[in-house]
Amino acid sequence: MTGNRGRWPKIDEERGVEDVTLLILEWLGEQGVNAMIRMDAERLADNAPAWTFAASGGPLAHGMRADGRTVQQCMSVALARLRDSGLSVPF
């Protein structure tokens, strides 16, 4: 695991996880995890959950995916699943 490089900001409790999503992706990359978040316009038009988070590799034994109607919902589910997989995401 790489050490803290001093770039992690203090989290504002009034703001949601969507404000630190890019920092989470960067942290995951430092752990050897391939990760992405995307928004699918076709699913949005169909009123389906349009946000998708996907991760694989590194300490994850299996790839994982989380979907949500908002980026906050998607990332909340993703963080819970990452923690269940043994990754202590610092956000």
Q: Give me the sign of the Cα torsion angle 28, 58, 79, 38.
A: positive
| pLDDT exceeds 50 at position 21 | yes
Give the global pTM: 0.79
What is the radius of gyration, based on Cα positions, of the chain? Answer: 13
CA 64/CA 2 separation, integer angstroms? 22
| Backbone angle region of 57, left / alpha / beta, with phi > 0 → left and psi within -120 to 50 → alpha | left
Strands (E), the chain: 34-39, 51-56, 64-68
Dihedrals phi, psi of 53, to nearest 5 degrees:
-115, 135
Summarize pLDDT for 26-69 with one digit per residue, the tens.
Answer: 999 999 999 999 999 999 999 999 999 999 999 999 999 999 99
Q: Report the pLDDT value the prediction gives residue 8, as an integer from 0 to 100.
A: 43
| pLDDT exceeds 70 at position 9 | no
